[in-house]
Amino acid sequence: MIRPPMSQPPLLERIDAAILDRGFQPIADRLPERLPAFELGMSMQLGAIVLDVAADVALGLLGMLSFERAAFDALSWTIGLLFYRYFRQQRGLVRPGHANPLRHGFFAMRLLAIAFCVVSAMQSIGLHGQLLLPQLFNSTANLVFTAGIYLMSCTPRPPSVARARARAEG
C-alpha cells in the first residue's frame, strides 16, 4: 500500500508559526516570572488603543478630524475595548507549564494584525507635514497591537522549582 506523503501546513500557518516560535516565544521565555507574556500582551493591547486615540487627538488638534471620522473611530475604540475585555476573560485559559489554547484561536487575528501593519506602513510612505504624526501614531498602534497578540499567543513557562516548592509548603 502506498502512503501519501506527509502534507505540510499551508504557507500562512508556517509563516505565523515561525514568527511566533522563533520571534516571540524566545522573548516570552526571557521575561521575568512576575511579568508573564500574556500580561505584557494585554498591556500592549491597551497601549494600542491609547495610541489610536492619540492619533485622533493629533488629527483633531490639526483641524483634520471630521465628525464622521470621529464617530467611526469612536466605534473602533469601542470594539478595541470589547476585544480587550474578551482577552481578559480568556486569561484563565492560559496556565504556566501548559500549552496555550489561545495560540490556535488567535491565528486569524494575528494574520489580520500583520495585514493592518503592512497597510498602515504603506500609507505612511510619502507622507510629510501635518499628516505624518497621526499616521505614525496609527502605525505604532498597529505594531503594538500585533506584538501584543503574538505575546498573548506564546506558551507560558512552567513556574520555577523554588516557587512551586513554596506553593506546596504554603
Tens digit of each residue's pLDDT (9 = 90 or more) over 16-39: 999 999 999 999 999 998 899 999
What is the number of structural domains in the chain?
Answer: 1
Q: In angstroms, rounded to a whole number, what is the distance separating the alpha carbons of residues 76 and 52?
A: 9
Tell me whether residue 49 is in a domain.
yes
Q: What is the pLDDT of residues 108-155, one digit of tens each?
A: 999 999 999 999 999 988 888 888 888 888 899 999 999 999 999 999
Q: Is the pLDDT of residue 54 over 60?
A: yes
Supply the pTM of this predicted model. 0.84
- Counting residues of the chain whose pLDDT is more than 70, the rounded percentage is 89
Query: In degrees rounded to 5, what are phi and psi of residue 154?
Result: -75, 155
The residue behind cell 501548559 is 98
Tell me whether residue 122 is in a domain.
yes
Tell me whether residue 6 is in a domain.
no
